[in-house]
Chain A
């Protein structure tokens, strides 16, 4: 596949992620912060997000597994996950966290467990999508092309 085709494929792929609500505007903000002096900025931030998210999902899972659930603690973890997912534009994960916090407030274990499942699914979904996106970018760069930036209007 030649570079132009790859670039078009990347743009279409990225657009689809926005259309499906998997990514939001904040992801574009991150891309704006990337340049020749910081060519891997987005990958770096997203990698930090993956580490953070997996740690938090584990912590939340353990906390919900306790005999007596410490809801303020669970809420604190969810708050952190909401924050970092919002910062990278992982919209569905962020929205899942917002819903989750309601269950924490109600001290609802079953609701929380269901929500956690949902968030895990959304997290792995966005992780797969972003990894695929980064692979497409790598292919373009390897073929000597430059990564096209998304237009902010659509």
Chain B
């Protein structure tokens, strides 16, 4: 029973080096969509393409890391250690409306949480939000920037959250008011 996610990326690089070198931001979002269901991959791919995003759809977290060039043994840095990859907004999708899990996702730095089945309006709203958030104000609108491992030297690390890269434990950040507004928004989905 996998929890799935999407990773949004602004540029269209093929390797991590290209991500670092790419200083210009293209207007098209490139989304790395992760879902273990073939049906859902096909749907999310179409939803994103119709919303003018470039899409790469993969079937698992492992494949996602491989695509990003972070495969296990070969990776010299984890998803959150890389200063470039840390900037990539992460959106979590799940068919289960479990508030504690949603809260955890948001606390650990997810940009948003989408309840499946995902609708066209959800994707459009999200894309607009992400497009507005990045750029000149460099993620100021992003409420929970994911932190680096060394930022937490003095804190104890919790067990890795299953939806994210298990090799880089994520830490909760504060801002409960932002979380509660997101929570309220998600509750209304019922």
Contact = CB atoms under 8 A, between A and B. Distances in A.
Interface of A: 26, 29-30, 32-33, 38, 41, 44-45, 48-49, 52, 75-76, 79-80, 82-84, 86-89
Interface of A is mostly: helix
A83 B39 CA distance: 9
B20 interface: no
Nearest to B43: A87
B162 to A, nearest CB: 14
A83 B95 CA distance: 7
A89 B43 CA distance: 12
B46 A49 contact: no
Contact of A48 (B1, B42, B95, B120): B42
Given A33-B43, A45-B43, A83 B116 contact: yes
Given A29-B119, A33-B43, A84-B37, 20 more contacts: A26-B117, A26-B119, A30-B43, A32-B120, A33-B120, A48-B38, A52-B37, A52-B38, A52-B39, A75-B1, A80-B36, A83-B37, A83-B39, A83-B40, A83-B95, A87-B39, A87-B40, A87-B43, A87-B116, A88-B39
Nearest to A44: B42
A127 B134 CA distance: 44
- Decide if the interface of chain B is mainly helix, strand, loop or mixed: helix
B1, B38, B39, B117 — most chain A CB neighbours (10 Å): B39
The 7 closest A-B pairs by CB, nearest first: A84-B39, A87-B117, A33-B46, A83-B95, A26-B117, A48-B39, A86-B117
Contact of B95 (A30, A44, A75, A86): A86
Nearest to A85: B39
Nearest to A35: B50
Nearest to A89: B117
Interface residues on B, range: 10 to 19
Contacts of B119: 26, 29
B58 interface: no
B47 interface: yes
